[in-house]
């Protein structure tokens, strides 16, 4: 985790960015929080998407059939993005249904063009960092009171990976925060309701 934070700070330094707004999704939200806590004067805003300072999930037990169908559905969607037969017959019966609650072709096209590659390109170090943080009971709630920068916390009501309840808990601890929870959406809600998410982010940025 420390390596990721140092890399991000070095990247900002390399581009000469003295002040900016942080935005992080999922593990990125945790990294954004950590960056803000390390040097709050460097950042003028914080946007956290499907993430939390004390992340917890409520993922149901996974049947073997879902595990089996997941790589098949994901591969088919990668080669034929948004194919409704695949969505209705395979994806809805796989682990993908816990990521996308509204199984629209648009959401699955985003998954094909951005999600699959992003997952494959994410380093094992990043996956390991997240697992270790969660295993150790990652909890920064008590430290959020030091942050006074404007914050926007977004969540999906049906997210079972990092629940809306844990995101709301974070929003309540931040001194200057806004909170939006999108109904009938899961962990990939920015691809389920992209128009609404972009509008809420634009509205937040407009007053910065």
Mean pLDDT is lowest, of 74-83, 133-142, 181-190, for: 133-142
In the block, tokens 């390991």 appear at: 128
CATH of 2-58+141-206, one of 3.20.20.105, 3.40.50.1820, 3.40.640.10, 1.10.3720.10: 3.40.50.1820
- The residue-averaged pLDDT of 122-144 equals 82
Kindly report the number of other CB atoms within 10 A of residue 80's CB atom. 13
pLDDT at 119: 78
Name the percent of the chain lying above pLDDT 70: 100
- The residue-averaged pLDDT of 172-176 equals 95
Instruction: Please report which confidence band the pLDDT of residue 137 belongs to, taking 50, 70 and 90 as the band edges.
Output: confident
For residues 82 and 181, what is the distance between their CA atoms, to the nearest angstrom? 25
- At residue 82, does pLDDT exceed 80? yes
pLDDT at 4: 87
- Break the chain into its structural domains and give their ranges: 2-58+141-206, 64-120
- At residue 132, does pLDDT exceed 80? no
pLDDT at 125: 76
Q: What is the pTM of this model?
A: 0.93
pLDDT tens for 99-121 read 999 999 999 999 999 988 887 78
> Three-class SS string for the chain?
CHHHHHHHHHHHHHCCCCCEEEEEECHHHHHHHHHHHHCHHHEEEEEEECCCCCCCCCCCCCCHHHHHHHHHHHHHHHHCCCCHHHHHHCHHHCHHHHCCCCCCHHHHHHHHHHHHHHHHHCCHHHHHHHHHHHHCCCCCHHHHHHCCCCEEEEEECCCCCCCHHHHHHHHHHCCCEEEEEECCCCCCHHHHCHHHHHHHHHHHHHCC
């Amino acid at each position: 985790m420390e390596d990721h934070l140092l890399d991000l700070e070095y990247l900002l330094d390399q581009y000469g960015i003295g002040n900016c707004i942080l935005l992080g999704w999922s593990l990125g939200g945790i990294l954004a929080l950590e960056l803000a806590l390390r040097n709050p004067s460097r950042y003028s805003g914080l946007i956290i998407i499907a993430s939390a300072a004390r992340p917890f999930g409520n993922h149901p037990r996974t049947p073997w059939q879902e595990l089996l169908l997941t790589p098949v559905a994901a591969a088919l969607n990668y080669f034929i993005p948004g194919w409704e037969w695949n969505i209705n017959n395979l994806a809805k019966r796989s682990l993908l249904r816990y990521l996308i609650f509204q199984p629209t072709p648009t959401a699955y096209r985003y998954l094909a063009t951005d999600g699959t590659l992003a997952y494959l390109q994410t380093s094992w170090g990043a996956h390991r960092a997240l697992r270790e943080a969660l295993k150790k009971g990652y909890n920064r709630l008590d430290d959020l009171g030091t942050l006074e920068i404007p914050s926007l916390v977004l969540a999906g009501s049906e997210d079972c990976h990092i629940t809306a309840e844990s995101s709301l808990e974070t929003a309540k601890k931040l001194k200057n925060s806004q909170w939006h929870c999108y109904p009938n959406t899961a962990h990939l809600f920015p691809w389920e309701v992209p128009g609404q998410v972009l509008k809420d982010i634009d509205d937040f940025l407009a007053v910065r």
